[in-house]
Amino acid sequence: MEPFLERIAHVDMDAFFVEVERQRRPELRGKAVVVGGAGPRSVVASASYEARTRGVGSGMPIGQARRLCPHAVVVPPDHREYGRMSERVFEVIGGFTPAVEAVSVDEAFIDIAGLRLLHPSPVAVAEGIRSALRAELGLPASIGLATTKLVAKMASRDAKPDGVHIVPAGSEQEYLRPKKVRALWGVGEATYARLEELGIATVGDLAGFPRTTLVARLGESLGGHLWDLATGRDERSVTPAGEARSISVEQTYDTDITDPEVLHRELLAHADRLASRLRRAGFVAATVQLKVRYDDFTTVTRSHTFQQPVSTGRDLYHAALTLLDRTAARHRPVRLLGIGTDGLVTAADPRQLDLAPRSWDDLEEVVEELRDRFGRDAVGRARLLDDPPEFPGDE
Ligand SMILES: [Mg+2]
């Protein structure tokens, strides 16, 4: 199995607004297209690659774009439609893993480490995401892969249009060296001017400077930060926001559950599925939440916060079972049962180092791998089997 060292993917949709317009107006395909307002002060919001080869770029006044590319079709922006498509883009990406950090409407960082059991390499993951976006939405995307956010973001630019670019682990400095120092985060106009005074034009120039000199000139936070980035030090992890921070499993039953045994068995199955999704996404859970809906549609939720984040089905099950005892589920017909978790922490997060190694974790890891290889039903808990195995001659 590949070690998946290049675990950070930066996905950037190609000429997003233009491509969304082309989805509903196929006659625009293959033509130079510019999305921008009609007013005298309007600027280019997005340009197709046909227009870009003529020098048209985002932020350029529309008049200038028209002069550079007179045959370009100028389309007024429809941000409502772009927002709608953006949601679908994130749905497709979210189908791979919840470890997604949105950067803008058409850009995201993804931590793909949790997908290593399902795909042979980081590039295979990137190609999988690209083909899903192409197949489901008809939209092209480019993806950069690297060990850090900064390098992944730069790599996605190199991947454009419609490609993947990987910067192999260990080659970050070599990759960064010739890049313009402007490309680093935190380098705006003012900083750029000061770096220029120091004779710094490329990231390599910056990395070649003693850290102390930069700190003396620019201060610890900016000088130190830039030097760290330039030398490939970028520890920031992918931070999913909002809903992506939670994962849940729930089921509404055709027939209400009245038997506590059945309820426990369902809870155990839910916990196993939840643990499997957590592990696949490279997360551990800080909390567990139980949701019970009774036959009269009243719904109760109970939650528990762990002292240490957990990721095993066993831990999730035991916590959820304790929560179940605090409901009336034992005495009332249950229509829906669900468990979920928020307060997710990426498994690579230093906090997870607090977890003492436990053999149960290792066991579940193996089970997960077997399931990936041989299918969901290949391995289960004895208690989840509908019919316990019978032994010959056993009466
Ligand atoms: Mg883009």
192 and 66 in one domain? no
pLDDT tens, position by position, 363-377: 565 566 566 555 555
Same domain, 201 and 300: no
Annotated catalytic, 107?
yes
Tell me which residue range forms the domain holding 62. 17-80
Residue 180: per-residue pLDDT: 92
**pLDDT at site 233:** 85
Peptide bond into 161 cis (omega under 30): yes
Report the CATH number at residue 190. Answer: 1.10.150.20
Residue 138 CA, ligand 1 centroid: distance in Å? 15
Per 3-state DSSP, the chain is made up of helix, strand and coil in percentages (nearest 5) of 45, 20, 35
> Tens digits of per-residue pLDDT, 117-164?
889 999 999 999 999 999 999 999 999 999 999 999 999 999 999 999
pLDDT reported for residue 393 = 32
Q: How far is the CA of 43 from the centre of ligand 1 (A)?
A: 16
Q: Enter the pTM of the model.
A: 0.62
CA–CA separation, 159 and 137 (whole Å): 20
Kindly give the distance from the C-alpha atom of residue 369 to the centroid of ligand 1, in angstroms, as a whole number: 35
Same domain, 226 and 252: no
- Of the listed 6, 107, 172, 266, which one is catalytic? 107
CA 328/CA 334 separation, integer angstroms: 9
Strands across the sheet containing 33-36: 44-47, 33-36, 73-75
pLDDT at 361: 52
Structural domain count of the chain: 3
Determine, yes or no, domain membership for 121: no
| CA 395 – CA 387 distance, rounded (Å) | 15
CA of 22 to the centre of ligand 1 (A): 15
Output the CA 157–ligand 1 centroid distance in Å. 9
Q: Is residue 395 part of a domain?
A: no
What is residue 263's predicted lDDT score, i.e. its pLDDT?
A: 93
Ligand 1 (single-atom ion) residues, CB below 5 Å = 12-13, 16, 106
Cα(28) to ligand 1 centroid in Å equals 18
For residues 310 and 50, give the distance between their C-alpha atoms in angstroms, rounded to a whole number.
Answer: 51
The low-confidence residues of the chain, meaning pLDDT below 70, are 1-2, 241-246, 280-282, 343-395
Task: Show which of 80, 101, 127 is a domain's final residue.
Answer: 80
